[in-house]
Amino acid sequence: MPNQPVNVTFWLDPKVKAEADALFSEMGLTLNTAVSMFVRQSIRDGSFPFRPTVAPAKDAEAAVTEAKAAAPKKA
């Protein structure tokens, strides 16, 4: 019996998701397919398929704020 796919959930800012959907759609891909490609390439390379860099502090702060805003609120 082949492996069954598993569900992975992550949170994105709605604007970021819309921009990603539009970009990947132009490439003939879905966001799900693009994320799967990223993960598979990371496994093949044994690392990120791009070179991560440290963002300036202002960009990092904005990313943290964005992530907190996108996360579900605790009851």
The string of pLDDT tens digits covering residues 21-49 is: 999 999 999 999 999 999 999 999 999 88
Which tokens sit at 63? 């990313």
Task: Identify the domain containing residue 34 by its residue range.
Answer: 14-69
What is the CB neighbour count within 10 angstroms for residue 32?
11
Q: Is residue 52 part of a domain?
A: yes
User: What is the average pLDDT value for the chain, to the nearest integer?
Assistant: 88
Q: Is residue 50 part of a domain?
A: yes
Total domain count for the chain?
1
Q: Is residue 75 part of a domain?
A: no
Q: Is residue 46 part of a domain?
A: yes
Q: How far apart are CA 63 and CA 32, in angstroms?
A: 22
Q: Is residue 32 part of a domain?
A: yes
Q: Is residue 58 part of a domain?
A: yes
Q: Residue 5 pLDDT > 70, yes or no?
A: yes
Following CA atoms 39, 8, 56, 66 in sequence, which dihedral angle do they give, to the nearest 10 degrees?
A: 160
Q: Is residue 1 part of a domain?
A: no
